[in-house]
Structure formats: C-alpha cells, structure tokens
C-alpha cells in the first residue's frame, strides 16, 4: 500500500477509482469473449510459422518415403496397395507426427485386369495361320525390377476380350481426322487392325474412332519421336538415360468416363445399385492392346501401301506407310495378317481411400482438401509416388507441429490418398458421390499433387482463376531450386507466361481437364481446385510426358538418377503446395481472388465474339446479353474487392469475415448447372466442361455451335445454341448476384 | 465524497480499487465488441418486442387493406395488377413504415386468355346444327361487381382452341379410373364431350385422361355436393350465404407443370431462350371449358344411358346417367350433341414480382423469405388478397419498428409479392431460377401465406419437419380467436392431430404439394418451407374449398360478411406467421428442429416395409440399407440435439453458433438430387416429390415399385427400383453426414 500513501485523499480516491476502472476494463477479459480466438484479436496466417514449415520440409525424407512407396508395384486393390493403406494410416495416426484422426473408406469397384491364364498377345500370322512374329508380352528386365511376378503385363484396361485378326493399317494417332484421311486415301478399313500411336486422342477415343470405321482391333504404341525426342537405341535409353527403352509399354485405362463404371452418381458401397454390364457405356467397343516401339517398328516398317503424310512420320527409322498389309519384299508374306488376342477380365475389387484430418481451431466446418492417388500401374515412382512422398512429408511436418501443440489451423485440413485413380479417378469420384452435400457446403478448395515432379525446370500449375493469387503469393516467397537466386515465381514466369490486362505479365495457369483426381471436385462439385507440379523446359524436350510413364521402368532409381537427383524439385513442390495449403487454412480472409475470374470471362467472351460472332449473327443470335452478364460480373467483383480492402483496414469481426469468405468460397459453385450438359457425365461446370473445338470459350456455347454449324436455320441444334447461351448468361448473372452486397435486392 | 470519508484509508483504497474494477469491467463495453452485437452478449429473440408486434397487428387495418386490394379484379399482367405493384412499392418505400429497400422484378411470361372477339361457348346443338341451348358465358351480376368489363369470363387457361362437337358423356372427376369405368361399361368415348366435375384429379389431368380415350372435348363444373354441402338454390347461396351461386364458375390453370411454360429452368428474361410452342409439354391436349352448375344441371339431368355409380351421383337433384347423348323424353332430341367452342389465346405478357428487404443487423446474408402471390382470377378477396392484406400489415408493423430505430432483425427478412401464380406459380418459379445459387446458399426458410383464411375454425399448416417446432412455439403463445381462452395451438390440436412417438399427441402438419408458391422453394431449391392459414371445421362442411374459389363472387363483402367477420382469423394468421418470422430471423440459435425429420423418415420406412416389403422381397431387394440409413440419421440428429443444448448452456460465441445454424439451415438441401427424377420437372427433393400411389413413403421408391409391379423380374423397371432405393439411401447417409460433428471423418 506504500504508493497509495503519497496521494492526497480526494485525489487518491478519484485516482484509485480511475485506476480500478482502467484495470477492470483492460485487465479482465469479458466472459462473452472466451473461448473464442475467433472473437478477440482474430488469428491470421502466422508468417513465422509458415517460414519454419518451409524450412522443415526435408528433401531427404521425401527421398526415403519415395523409396518405400515405390519399392514394390502397387496396382489398385493389390496386396501392396492395401499395405500402403496401412502405411498411411500408421503415419497419420503417429502419436508424434500424426493428425487428429485418420480412416480408410473402402468401395467395391469394377476394375479390369489381363488374364493370367491367357496372356494377351499380338502376333503376325501367315495365311496358314502360322505365327510369323510375336510381340513381347512383357518389358525387358533391365534393372531386375521388371521381372517381378507382381508386374502387371502391358494391357488396355477395360478393353473388351476378343481375338480379331486382319490386315494391318497405320492410323497415326487414331483421331477422327486420321481415320477420315485413311478413308480419303481409299483404304478399306473394314476388318483391319489399326496400329496407332499415343497422343492426339485419348486412349479410349482411338478405339471408338476406329470402330466407327469398321476396324476390328487397335494397337497403340509410343513413338520415340513423341517421347524420346527421337532416341530409340538401348544405349540412349533407361537405365543409360531417362528415355524410354524399346520394350517399354504405356499401360492405361481405356474407359471414356471417370468413376466406378457400375455406379454413376452413386458411391460404390456394397449395397449400392449397380448397372447391368450390358448397360455400361464408355468401354472401348473393340479389343485394344498397347505394345512397345521395338515391336511397333517390326510391324510399321514392314507395312505396304502408300506413304503416310509427313505429319504421320515418326522416329522408328523407316518410312511409315499406311497399309493395308505388309509389303512383299519385307519380313512377312504380303498376305500375312495381325492377330490381336485380348483376354482382359472385369472384376469387382475393394479399393480404399485414406483420409486424415486436422481439426480447425476456429472454423472446423471449412475444409481445405489436399489429395493424391496411391495406386500405380507398376512401381509408380513418379506416378503417383512422387506426389505421395510430398504428401507424407507435408503431413509429417504439420502433424508434428500439431502434436507439439504449437499450432492448429484456423480451418480444417483434410489429407486424402485416393484409390484406383489409374482406372478412372475412381476413389476420388466415389468420395464426392458419397459426401456430395457436405463437401459442396464446406469445401474451401481442393489441392491436388499427383506426379509432383515431371522434370526440374519450372513450376506448373493448373487451376481455376480464384486460386491464382494464392499460388502466386506462395511462389514468390520460395527460392527456386537450381542455380541462381530466383524465386519459384520468377523462374516460373520465364517458362509459362501470359499478359494479363490487370497485372501485366504473369505466370500462366493451365486449365483443369480430367487428368487426375481434381476432376470430380471441379466438374461435379464446383470446388475451386488446382494441380501443382514441377515440369519440363519445353525448349529442351518435346516429350509428350516423362518417358517411362505407366511402364515398369518408372522406378525409384529412375527418379533418383534422372528425374530429380537430390530431390530439390520435390522439395520445391512440397514448399509451394504447403504454403498454399497453410494460406488457405490459416488466413483470416480467404486468399481466393474471385475477381481473377473476370480475366477468364473477358477472354472467353472475346473468343466467342471473334470465332462465333459472325456465325451467330447469320442466325440472328445476339451475344449482347452475354456481354452484359460479363460486365455485371466484373462490376460486382471489383466492388467486392473494394469492400474487402475496407474490411481489412478497420478490424472486421470474425462473423463479417465469415460472411465474406462464404461469398469467396461459394463463387465456384454458382457456375455449376447439373442440367446444362446431362449427356456429359459429371460435367456440370458451365465454364470448364470439355470443349470439342479449339476456341477457348464457353464450352456449352462452342460445342452447340459446332453441332449446329451445318444444320439448317431453325433446327433443334440452333435452338440448343440459344439454350446454351442462356445457360451461361444465367450462370454469370447468378454469380454476380452472389458477389454483390448480401442485402442488395 | 462524503461516503468515502467514513472509510479507513487502506480499506478505502482497496474498496475504491475494487469498486472501480467492478465498474470498469461491467459498465464499459469493450472496444472489440462494437460494431458487433454478434460478439458481446449475442442478441437473441426479444420476447418483449415479439409481444408488442403481436399487439400491433391490427385486424381493422387488415380489413381496410383487403378492401383496397380486392376493390377491382387484378388478373395477372392486367392494369390493376400493375397498379398493385405500385401500391406495394409505395408501402414498402414509406418513410415511416417501409422497409430498407423494395424493387419490382419483371419477367416476360406466356399467359393464356380467352378471346374477347370470339367468346368461348358451350352449346347443345340439334342434328341440323341449330343451337338448342347455350350455357352462360359469364356469371350472374348479383352484387354489381360481376358485371364489370374487367371480369375475365370463365375459361380453362392454356386449354387449346378448338370447336369439338359430339355426344355428351358424364365422366365423374375425370380420373384415369373414371374413364376406365366408362370403358368397362361399354361406352364408346371416341369423339365424345366429357362432362366432369372438379375434384379428384388436377384440372389438366382431366383433359389428359380424357384425350387418352379419344374424348374430343372436356367440360368441368363444380357440383353443389362438392362445394355447397348440397345447397344449390339462389336463396341458399351468395349473397344470401357463403355458398356458391348457380352461375359461379371456377377458373383455373390447366397447365400440368409450373413456371413459365416457355423457359423451364431459365428465368423468363427478355433475352432468355424460349421453347418453340411445338415443343412445349404440359398443356391440355384437347379443348376444355368450365361451366356453372346451373348449366351442368341442364346437361347432366338430360343425359341418357345407364345410371352412374352411386359414388358418382351429386346434388343437382336428378339421377346422374353416363350417356352417351340425351334421353328421348328430355329437353333435347336424343341425337343432339354438345359443341364446345374454345378460343383461348397464348400471349407473352410482362409480370412482376415485388421484393422488399429488411437488412439483417448481424447476419445480413441469411434470408428469411415471406411471400404470397398478388394476382387473382377476378377480385380475389380470399385468393390471394386475404394473404396479401396480412403481408402488408406485418410489413407495416415491422417497417415501423425499423424506421423508428427500435429494432433490426439479426438476419435479413425478405418480403415477396409474386406475379402470375394463378397461371402456374410463375413469378416465384422464375425468381428461384434467376437467383438459384444465392438463395440455395443463404435462405433460412420460406414462409408462404396465400389464402390466409379459408374459414374461422383452426390453424392449418403445411411444411417440412424442421419448421414444426417453431410453428408450435408461436402457436402456443397466441390466443385463439373466438370463444374460450385457448391458445391457437390448443385449438389447432382439436382439429388436426397425430400421435408422435417423440412428443405424444401434437397438431399434425400437412405436407407440401405444389398448390402455391412454396413449391419451387421446397422442390427445386430444397429450402425448408411452410404454408400457414386458418381453415374449416371439417365436421361442419365437406366443401372441397371455400365455395366462391376462383369465381367472380370472391369479393370483399364475401369475406367481410361470411368468411371472417371482424377479421379475427386474419389477425390470428398474421400473429402466427409474424411470430414464426421473427423467431426465424431473430433467434440466436435457428429454431429449425432437424431431428423432427426422424419421425418422418421412420414413418416412411415403416410404410415401405409394410406396403412394399413383401413385393421387394419377392425380387430379392432388401430394405436393410434403408433401415441402416434411417438409423444413422436418427443417431446423428439426436447427438446434434445434445450438442445444441450444451452450446446453449455455456454461452457459445457467434461463430460457433453460425456453424451450427449452417448445419440446421442446410439440412433440407441434402435431400435434393437433381438427377433423381429428371422427368419430373423441378422436383429434386427425394422425400417430397409427387407420389402416384397412396402409401406415404419415399416417392422415388414407391413410384418405381408401382411401375415395376407388373413387369417381369430383371426388367429395366426393377433395376430402376433398386436405383431409386440407392438414391434415397445415399441422400439419408449424406444428410446424416452433415449433422455429425463437422470435423468427424
């Protein structure tokens, strides 16, 4: 009480009262305030923590995880695939570095495998039925890993069984145009076997196009010109370089859609309704089989007929001819045929997704999903284990912070390891079907890292416009691997860039197709999604994809020696994805810049005006309403941006920010219309559904125009053009309405 | 300072300090608290304010508003309808009693009107084509109001033009069964005119069923047995009683779907794609015309043929015979025919919705919608002006509080006056199409008050289970009109009740069909919805509906003298609806009791087991997964209920409550599946879509079963049964998933 004495009484009383008031006001938290960090000073992204996470992401641990993940082949539903389910559960349940909880979700799905009793085969047979040449049934055992019994022989998943035999023709990439060209050249395709090369058309599409012209069977190979920059000698290929060996064969799914083929729109639970096989669509109509270029060379270089167009020529060291059949002076009698024997079996198999969650501290009902598939074709070191190794390292670092009690995200983080992706994004699709409403209401974004490193040159991101800004923010703060002291962003912009009317020169994001598990999230649920990887210097290689893709040569040593020695690119991807993940889960204001959609809409609109405007005018269809809708969106997005900056200035309470964040999170949903393209299974996003044409514009409008182009005015097809135009206009106006002040009429 | 002196210094200092601390803590609001009432002690429903609102809802003002609203006929898109748009805008923009803002939204929609040049007619014509009798073309001018030029003559909206002529048959209510019965009796229907009575089947359905049997034209009348409890003499009917006069004719829409017929799923904006008339479905296939029972009596009492079944007899004072044709000794020669001349015209007309909003103080992005249609067939005093008068009184009282600055709701309140409801819920449907995403994301509930008073006996509520509890809470606090001192709840339970396994005896809510503007909200958007009215004592009348429904006798005097003298029932509805509205907009915890869905699901399940179980077993389809799904829902709902009560105890912060409220608000959405019944336009709710059968169970399952019943095992129809079963199971499991703790895997 010493200090009190010095005060005069009256003054003292007043002062004491005042002091007390001050103490009472500032020193004691209001009851109403607790427990909520969301209420008092709202937690925002902690940059120091972000820095330390970046520092803890360890290249050598990624390397060790990759070694373990790719030690054995882990084809979907195989024993090793199941073992990896357990590995993931054990990691995510680890007391020192695990998540809050982890769980496996099993589905019963229809997969396709080659018969073990009756191996698929491709033979050249003489007129007497005698076998003159047999293609290799497996890849050459170059490293000891290709000889394992659990290496699935090359095959075309979901291709029907059958043993077609006929004269061989060469059909380039098996596109509709390619077969039209053969027809134009007067080549009779009925009953032939078409040899095609990977690229151009999807796997299944080659068989579909071929069947339309009466082709009886399809062979698919990888031309050294498309994958090896022309190299084809053993001395030039793996294990002597990263190039594809002559015996390498790309496996893959030939199913046209995605998701479990028997349960469209329904989760493949044991009790779920399953289509009768007779009613399943999307399987190849005729037998198909992939072969290596060593065998393709024997077939192709013996072909008869006229010379193939220059664009069809490849790097097998001979002139490619069209056939049909072999030339008299070659290795086979002219009347020799090719026999394709396919004995694939459809099987109902159990396949699991593994999910792990870190519960959000403030908004546990907001989910940031980070996923990759687990299943591979063979060892799958690059595809998908390079991504899974990054996933495990990221979950380890975050799990460790969590278990130490030093950190918990504002929003929930969900890690996912999908099953059976290689057969058609099956695990992720069944997941979205089972939890449709929950995910559509609560998912902030989906982050996919499948193949994390194709090559070491640069970052490559595919995504919808709202994720551009957060990826940029992350990439600017991380040092790029390799020489120089560039940020990942500054390195990236050197390889992929575009000039934005708003920002000037920026790295360009690719758009999302259906190449990996992001497809059901963006197309079916309307969740802002992205796919992140490190990739090639396109000036140094024209390879379609990394050379050993889907072969038995995609092994740990391949990655360790040729793809990313030192794993610095893996680390770069882990840091970029990790930074994006933390920014999405911890930022007070969601870092989704919806106004970046304006760029896209503007460019879609201009493309429509340039490429379709004249045609539409001829049919007196005006793009005016579309122009107005785009302008309304731009205006609403701009105004919302200004509102955000004012909110950021004068400390908004967490409920105000929640309302704003809901607008940002849900914008992508407003572009979804399940009635827009009912025939396009799962595709409901009116901006990103598949486009048939080359014009980068609104897909529904573009596709309807190309269907209507050759029909008479007033046809149903032209009515559909107008319907599609209205669908886009309504979607854009609806989107703008959700961006405007919430109490506006 | 006198009081201080008395204290010893030390003690005094301590006391002062303490006093100050106390003052400081409790007397000064924390800076962080403002501006958000959402943060400090969160505002909850203010019961005093609720009481005062109940007190201010004024019966005499409702009466005066009704007089003004029903002064002149206001058919959709008529000048008077437009004038009422202005009246609503003026009321809602009133500086002293208006809302924050109000706006009219205009659509261009396809309506149907009788031709003024060529009036529709129904005549008995002799063999020479001479007219022997003509039905009245308008209603008798009993009060001076029926003779106005703006009274639209009776007609069947959307019935096609045509002048069919043929022998008359009597087809009861024109159901499928009725026509089968006529066929069974050996009556040749080809080319006949079918006289049907209202009730049993929908208006359009009568024409559809008739056309299937070759009938050329349909007449529809209201039998005194169905509407007047048998009375038919002028002395017994309006203006001498509330009963329908002999000349009264029920108008109505004969369109089978709802929404603008030319723009399904698209808002009817000027630029929207419109179907070619040739492609429009849902219009009656043959001409139809409604007539009064005075004319029906002349036709029916002269019919020849065998006696109609007892159930088909009515109150026209003669034996009803089936025809075909007239009996020889009657008023007309036996070979006389009936000629129906319909000259309806389809026209594109402008129709507006009027929307007014009160911005929410805390959660402006949560909307409680309260609506009714504005358009009538003639004066529409009961339908819809009795509801609009209630709407205006409620918005006046709330608007006055708002403008005084004494109150602002926690959530936004949106008042809506829909256009062109009588033609097929057109205004409300176009609204849901235009703002689909915004409404689906943010709407808390939809409250519809169309006809507010059918009669004075009791409250009648239709709605989905989550609204039951809030309606009960409101009804318990309001005194019932009429003698006695019962609450509206206690009175209600005497007329409509059921025994709930959870609550025992409670008032029973009806389910929502498509009778008014709630249809697009519940079926198309999945918004928890309700319809509130006062209605009959069913022990005192068997009237299908109030007698002057859709006639020129539905006038202010009719309401004032016969329906609700004193307007106490109008006031009771205003109080009930107003209380529900305030509870939904102001309660901290949303008063939507999702666990009340368990009752419904359990009863649907039991009905399925009892009525379909055996049949399904024969086809080895198990209801096991459905049982499990219902149990999962029940468990999740119960657990959520417990979580809510804990939250309510220990003052949760507003973000926690927002997360919970989102679960409650969005539950209804989880039952929506746009791919479940693609052929049922707008119907996506897997629990409330139309059922063909009588079993109160899951509609998709029930309908699929009735289609499959007579097909062979393994048919497509039986596959559809299994698909529909899976659709329900997945919906229920998905719903349960959204009710479980948000961070559960």
pLDDT for B4: 34
Tell me the pLDDT tens digit for each residue of A279-308: 999 999 999 999 999 999 999 999 999 999
Active-site positions of B read 421
Chain B residues lying within 8 Å of A360, measured CB to CB: 743
> Looking at the complex, does the CB of residue A624 fall below 8 Å from at least one CB of chain B?
yes
- Phi/psi-derived region of residue A228, left when phi > 0, alpha when psi is between -120 and 50, beta in every other case: alpha
* DSSP element (H, E) containing B349: strand B344-358
* DSSP element (H, E) containing A338: strand A337-341
Q: Is B482 helix (H, G, I), strand (E, B) or coil?
A: coil
Contacts of A107 (CB under 8 A, 6+ apart): A260, A267, A268, A269, A350, A351, A352, A353, A419, A426, A427, A430
pLDDT for A172: 98
CA-wise closest residue to B472 among B450, B500, B453: B500
Q: Once rounded to an integer, what is the mean pLDDT over residues B329-334?
A: 95
Contact A187, A164 (CB under 8 A): no
Q: Is the pLDDT of residue A312 over 90?
A: yes
Number of A–B residue contacts, CB under 8 Å: 245
A342 bridge partner residues: A162
> Looking at the complex, does the CB of residue A743 fall below 8 Å from at least one CB of chain B?
yes
* DSSP element (H, E) containing B472: helix B468-476
A126 bridge partner residues: none
Running DSSP on this structure, what letter comes out for residue B406?
S
Tell me the pLDDT tens digit for each residue of A222-238: 999 999 999 999 999 99
Contacts of A710 (CB under 8 A, 6+ apart): none
Chain B residues lying within 8 Å of A656, measured CB to CB: 36
Q: Is the pLDDT of residue B218 over 80?
A: yes
Chain A residues lying within 8 Å of B680, measured CB to CB: none
Contact A434 B734 (CB under 8 A): yes
Tell me the pLDDT tens digit for each residue of A408-449: 999 999 999 999 999 999 999 999 999 999 999 999 999 999
Lowest mean pLDDT among A482-486, A489-493, B103-107: A482-486
Q: How far apart are CA A521 and CA A526, in angstroms?
A: 6
CA-based nearest distance A726→chain B, Å: 6
Quote the tokens at residue B180.
């089968």
User: For residue B164, what are the CA distances in angstroms to B216, B297, B326, B331, B696?
Assistant: 6, 21, 17, 22, 40
Chain B residues lying within 8 Å of A18, measured CB to CB: 20
pLDDT for B518: 98
- Residue of chain B whose alpha carbon sits nearest to that of A412: B743
| Contact map slice: B 14-43 vs A, CB within 8 A | 16-26, 28, 30, 32-33, 35-36, 38-42
Contact B354, B104 (CB under 8 A): yes
The beta-carbon neighbor of A39 closest among B102, B436, B653 is: B653
> Looking at the complex, does the CB of residue A1 fall below 8 Å from at least one CB of chain B?
yes
Contact B103 A434 (CB under 8 A): no
Contact B571, B397 (CB under 8 A): no
pTM for the structure as a whole: 0.93
CA-based nearest distance B16→chain A, Å: 5
pLDDT band at A638 (very low <50, low <70, confident <90, very high): very high
Q: Once rounded to an integer, what is the mean pLDDT over residues A120-129?
A: 97
Q: How far apart are CA A66 and CA A71, in angstroms?
A: 8
Contact A12 B13 (CB under 8 A): yes
Running DSSP on this structure, what letter comes out for residue B240?
S
User: For residue B370, what are the CA distances in angstroms to B143, B402, B524, B582?
Assistant: 34, 17, 17, 11
Neighbours of B539 (CB within 10 A): 8
Chain B residues lying within 8 Å of A409, measured CB to CB: none
Chain B residues lying within 8 Å of A651, measured CB to CB: 32
CA-wise closest residue to A344 among A222, A254, A211: A254
Q: Once rounded to an integer, what is the mean pLDDT over residues B340-368?
A: 98
pLDDT band at A651 (very low <50, low <70, confident <90, very high): confident
| Buried/exposed A8-17: b ≥16 CB within 10 Å, e otherwise | eeeebbbbbb
**Sign of the CA dihedral with B481 first, then B487, B488, and B493 last:** negative
Contact B528, B518 (CB under 8 A): no
Torsion angle, CA of B343/B349/B352/B353, rounded to 10 degrees? 50
Q: Tell me the percentage of chain A whose pLDDT exceeds 90.
A: 92
Q: How far apart are CA A244 and CA A666, in angstroms?
A: 44
Contact A437 B18 (CB under 8 A): no
Contact B653 A735 (CB under 8 A): no
Neighbours of A348 (CB within 10 A): 14
Q: Once rounded to an integer, what is the mean pLDDT over residues B70-81?
A: 98
**Sign of the CA dihedral with A90 first, then A93, A99, and A100 last:** positive
The beta-carbon neighbor of A365 closest among B651, B659, B727 is: B659
* HEC secondary structure over A226-264: HHCCCCCCHHHCCCCCCCCCCCCCCCEECCCCCCCCCCC
Contacts of B72 (CB under 8 A, 6+ apart): B80, B148, B150, B379
CA-based nearest distance B1→chain A, Å: 8
Contact A674 B670 (CB under 8 A): no
Q: Tell me the percentage of chain B whose pLDDT exceeds 90.
A: 92
Chain B residues lying within 8 Å of A730, measured CB to CB: 266-267, 272, 433-434
Contact B269, B108 (CB under 8 A): yes
Q: How far apart are CA B745 and CA A85, in angstroms?
A: 16
Q: How far apart are CA B292 and CA B297, in angstroms?
A: 9
Q: What is the DSSP string of A461-525?
A: EEE-GGGHHHHHHHHHTSBPSSSS--BHHHHHHHHSEEEETTTEEEEPPBPP-SSSTHHIIIIII
Contact A548, A382 (CB under 8 A): yes
CA-based nearest distance B652→chain A, Å: 8
Lowest mean pLDDT among A479-488, B67-76, B119-128: A479-488
Q: How far apart are CA B69 and CA B58, in angstroms?
A: 16
The beta-carbon neighbor of B655 closest among A17, A36, A735 is: A36
Q: Once rounded to an integer, what is the mean pLDDT over residues A100-121?
A: 98
pLDDT band at A38 (very low <50, low <70, confident <90, very high): very low
Q: How far apart are CA B57 and CA B581, in angstroms?
A: 14
Contact A658 B653 (CB under 8 A): no
Pairing of strands B344-358, B363-373: unpaired
Tell me the pLDDT tens digit for each residue of A703-732: 999 999 999 999 999 999 999 999 999 999
pLDDT for B378: 98
pLDDT band at B649 (very low <50, low <70, confident <90, very high): confident
Q: Is the pLDDT of residue B261 over 90?
A: yes
Active-site positions of A read 421
pLDDT for B21: 47
pLDDT for A43: 79
Q: Is A541 helix (H, G, I), strand (E, B) or coil?
A: coil
> Looking at the complex, does the CB of residue A233 fall below 8 Å from at least one CB of chain B?
no
Q: How far apart are CA B575 and CA B573, in angstroms?
A: 5
Contact A435 B101 (CB under 8 A): no
Residue B417: phi and psi, rounded to 5, are -115, 105
pLDDT for A334: 94
B295 bridge partner residues: none
Contact B512, B689 (CB under 8 A): no
| Contact map slice: B 644-663 vs A, CB within 8 A | 651, 653-656, 658-659, 662-663
B534 bridge partner residues: B453, B459
pLDDT for A42: 59
- Residue of chain A whose alpha carbon sits nearest to that of B8: A9
Query: To the nearest whole number, what is the mean pLDDT of chain A?
Result: 94
Q: Is the pLDDT of residue A12 over 50?
A: no
- Tokens 């079996």 correspond to A345
Quote the tokens at residue A463.
């995504």
Chain A residues lying within 8 Å of B353, measured CB to CB: none
Q: Once rounded to an integer, what is the mean pLDDT over residues B739-743?
A: 97
Q: Once rounded to an integer, what is the mean pLDDT over residues A623-632?
A: 98
Contact B17 A19 (CB under 8 A): yes
Q: Is the pLDDT of residue B2 over 50?
A: no
CA-based nearest distance A390→chain B, Å: 22
Chain A residues lying within 8 Å of B266, measured CB to CB: 723, 726-727, 730
The beta-carbon neighbor of A662 closest among B365, B653, B743 is: B365
CA-based nearest distance B723→chain A, Å: 5
Q: Is A565 helix (H, G, I), strand (E, B) or coil?
A: coil
Contacts of A145 (CB under 8 A, 6+ apart): A151, A379, A552, A555
The beta-carbon neighbor of B651 closest among A32, A654, A730 is: A32
Tell me the pLDDT tens digit for each residue of B265-320: 999 999 999 999 999 999 999 999 999 999 999 999 999 999 999 999 999 999 99
Chain B residues lying within 8 Å of A4, measured CB to CB: 9-10, 13
pLDDT band at B448 (very low <50, low <70, confident <90, very high): very high
Please tell me the number of Cα atoms within 13 Å of A582 on its side-chain side. Answer: 27
Q: Tell me the percentage of chain B whose pLDDT exceeds 70.
A: 94
Residue B504: phi and psi, rounded to 5, are 80, -145
Q: Tell me the percentage of chain A whose pLDDT exceeds 70.
A: 94
pLDDT for B652: 81
Q: Is the pLDDT of residue B13 over 70?
A: no
Q: Once rounded to an integer, what is the mean pLDDT over residues B327-332?
A: 95
Angle at A629 between CA A623 and CA A631, to 5 degrees: 105
Neighbours of B11 (CB within 10 A): 9
Q: Once rounded to an integer, what is the mean pLDDT over residues A364-381?
A: 98
| Contact map slice: A 65-104 vs B, CB within 8 A | 100-103
Lowest mean pLDDT among A649-658, B253-262, B359-368, B521-530: A649-658
Q: Is the ipTM of this complex over 0.85?
A: yes
Chain B residues lying within 8 Å of A744, measured CB to CB: 101
Q: Is A107 helix (H, G, I), strand (E, B) or coil?
A: strand
B370 bridge partner residues: B415, B447
The beta-carbon neighbor of A436 closest among B40, B355, B734 is: B734
Contact A272 B656 (CB under 8 A): no
Residue B444: phi and psi, rounded to 5, are -80, -45
Contact A730 B362 (CB under 8 A): no
- Phi/psi-derived region of residue A727, left when phi > 0, alpha when psi is between -120 and 50, beta in every other case: alpha
| Contact map slice: B 591-610 vs A, CB within 8 A | none
Q: Once rounded to an integer, what is the mean pLDDT over residues B325-349?
A: 97
CA-based nearest distance A389→chain B, Å: 23
Q: How far apart are CA A525 and CA A670, in angstroms?
A: 10
């Amino acid at each position: 009480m010493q200090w009190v004495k010095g005060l005069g009484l009256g003054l003292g009383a007043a002062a004491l009262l005042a002091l007390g008031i001050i103490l009472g006001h500032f020193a004691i938290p209001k009851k109403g305030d607790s427990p909520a960090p969301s209420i008092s000073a709202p937690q925002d992204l902690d940059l120091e923590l972000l820095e330390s996470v970046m520092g803890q992401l360890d290249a050598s641990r990624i390397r060790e995880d990759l070694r373990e993940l790719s030690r054995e082949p882990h084809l979907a539903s195989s024993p090793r695939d199941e073992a990896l389910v357990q590995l993931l559960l054990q990691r995510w349940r680890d007391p020192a570095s695990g998540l809050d909880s982890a769980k496996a979700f099993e589905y019963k799905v229809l997969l396709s495998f080659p018969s073990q009793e009756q191996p698929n085969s491709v033979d050249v047979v003489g007129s007497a039925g005698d076998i003159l040449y047999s293609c290799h049934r497996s890849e050459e055992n170059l490293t000891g890993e290709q000889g394992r019994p659990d290496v699935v022989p090359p095959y075309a998943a979901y291709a029907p069984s059958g043993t077609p035999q006929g004269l061989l023709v060469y059909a380039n990439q098996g596109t509709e145009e390619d077969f039209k060209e053969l027809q134009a050249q007067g080549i009779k395709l009925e009953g032939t076997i078409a040899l095609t090369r990977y690229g151009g058309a999807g796997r299944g599409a080659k068989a579909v196009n071929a069947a339309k012209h009466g082709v009886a069977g399809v062979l698919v190979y990888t031309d050294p010109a498309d994958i090896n920059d022309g190299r084809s000698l053993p001395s030039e290929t793996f294990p002597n370089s990263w190039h594809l060996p002559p015996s390498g064969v790309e496996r893959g799914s030939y199913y046209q859609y995605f998701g479990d083929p028997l349960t469209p729109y329904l989760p493949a639970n044991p009790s779920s309704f399953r289509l009768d096989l007779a009613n399943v669509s999307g399987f190849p109509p005729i037998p198909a089989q992939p072969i290596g270029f060593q065998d393709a060379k024997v077939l192709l270089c013996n072909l008869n007929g006229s010379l193939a167009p220059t664009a069809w020529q490849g790097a097998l060291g001979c002139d490619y001819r069209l056939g049909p059949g072999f030339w008299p002076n070659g290795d086979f009698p002219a009347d020799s045929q090719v026999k394709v024997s396919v004995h694939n079996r459809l099987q109902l198999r159990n396949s699991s997704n593994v999910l792990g969650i870190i519960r959000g501290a403030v908004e546990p009902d907001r989910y940031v999903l980070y996923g990759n598939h687990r299943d591979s074709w063979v060892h799958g070191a690059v595809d998908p284990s390079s991504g899974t190794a990054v996933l495990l390292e990221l979950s380890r670092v975050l799990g460790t912070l969590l278990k130490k009690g030093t950190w918990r995200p504002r929003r929930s983080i969900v890690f996912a390891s999908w099953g059976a992706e290689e057969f058609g994004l099956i695990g992720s699709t069944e997941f979205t079907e089972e939890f449709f409403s929950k995910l559509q209401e609560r998912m902030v974004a989906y982050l996919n890292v499948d193949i994390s490193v194709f090559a070491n040159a640069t970052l490559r991101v595919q995504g919808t416009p709202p994720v551009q800004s957060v990826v940029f923010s992350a990439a600017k703060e991380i040092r790029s691997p390799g020489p120089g002291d560039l940020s990942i962003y500054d390195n990236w912009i050197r390889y992929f860039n575009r000039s934005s009317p708003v920002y000037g020169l920026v790295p360009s994001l690719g758009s999302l197709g259906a190449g990996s598990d992001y497809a059901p999230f963006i197309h079916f649920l309307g969740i802002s999604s992205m796919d992140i990887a490190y990739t090639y210097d396109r000036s140094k290689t024209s390879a379609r994809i990394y050379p050993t893709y889907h072969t038995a040569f995609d092994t740990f040593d391949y990655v360790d020696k040729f793809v990313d020695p030192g794993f610095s690119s893996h680390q770069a991807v882990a840091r970029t994805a990790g930074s994006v993940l933390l920014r999405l889960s911890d930022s007070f204001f969601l870092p989704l810049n919806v106004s970046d959609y304006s760029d896209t809409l503007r460019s879609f609109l201009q493309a429509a005006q340039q490429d379709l405007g004249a045609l539409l005018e001829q049919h007196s269809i005006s793009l005016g309403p579309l122009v107005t809708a785009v302008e309304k969106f731009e205006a609403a997005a701009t105004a919302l941006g200004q509102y955000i900056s004012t909110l950021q200035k004068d400390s908004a309470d967490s409920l105000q920010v929640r309302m704003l964040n809901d607008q940002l999170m849900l914008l992508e949903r407003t572009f979804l219309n399940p009635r827009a393209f009912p025939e396009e299974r799962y595709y409901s996003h009116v901006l990103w559904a598949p486009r048939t044409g080359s014009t980068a514009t609104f897909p529904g409008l573009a596709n309807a125009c190309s269907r209507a182009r050759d029909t008479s005015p007033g046809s149903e097809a032209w009515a559909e053009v107008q319907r599609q135009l209205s669908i886009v206009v309504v979607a854009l106006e609806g989107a703008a309405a959700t961006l405007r002040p919430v109490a506006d009429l």
